[in-house]
Amino acid sequence: MTTELTALTCAVLVQIATLAVMSTVANRELGAEVTTGPRDGQMPPLSPVLGRLMRAVSNGFEGLAMFAPAVLILAVSGHSGPLTTIAAWAYVVARILYVPAYTYGLAPWRSVIWMVGLLATLTLLVSALI
C-alpha cells in the first residue's frame, strides 16, 4: 500500500471518529428518542457545539469526496513521491485540527486549516497530471 493510501485510510478513520463524537454529543443533548427516530418533524434546537460538529461531519465528507479520488488517481498512475506523501499527511493533520477548531469556533483558524487541506488535495491532483 502506498503512503498516500495509508493517509487516506487514516483520513477515513478521522471522519469516523468525528462522526462518533458528533453522535455522542447528539445523543446526550437530544436524547436517544430523537437521534434514533425518523426525525420527520421539527428538530429540537441544537446547541452551537452540536451544530458545529454536525457541520464539521458534513465538511469532512465533502473533503473526502475530493481527497479520496486524488489519492486513488495517484495510486493507479504511480505518480507518488515525496511531495504527494507530504500533501497526503498534511490533509490528514488538517482534518484532525479542523474538527476542534470548528467545534470551538476558532476563527479564522478553522478557515486556514480548511485551506491547508484543500491545498493538499490540489497538490495531489496536480502531481497526478505531471
Tens place of pLDDT for every residue, the chain, 130 residues?
899 999 999 999 999 999 999 999 999 988 888 777 777 778 888 899 999 999 999 999 999 999 999 999 999 999 899 999 999 999 999 999 999 999 999 999 999 999 999 999 999 999 999 8
* pTM of the complete model: 0.92
Instruction: Identify the three-state secondary structure at position 31.
Output: coil
Given a contact cutoff of 8 angstroms between Cβ atoms, the answer to whether 77 and 127 are in contact is no
Options 3.40.50.620, 2.40.160.20, 3.40.190.10, 1.20.120.550; CATH for 3-129 is 1.20.120.550
Which ranges in the chain belong to alpha helices (H)?
A: 3-30, 32-35, 48-77, 82-103, 109-129
Given a contact cutoff of 8 angstroms between Cβ atoms, the answer to whether 85 and 3 are in contact is yes
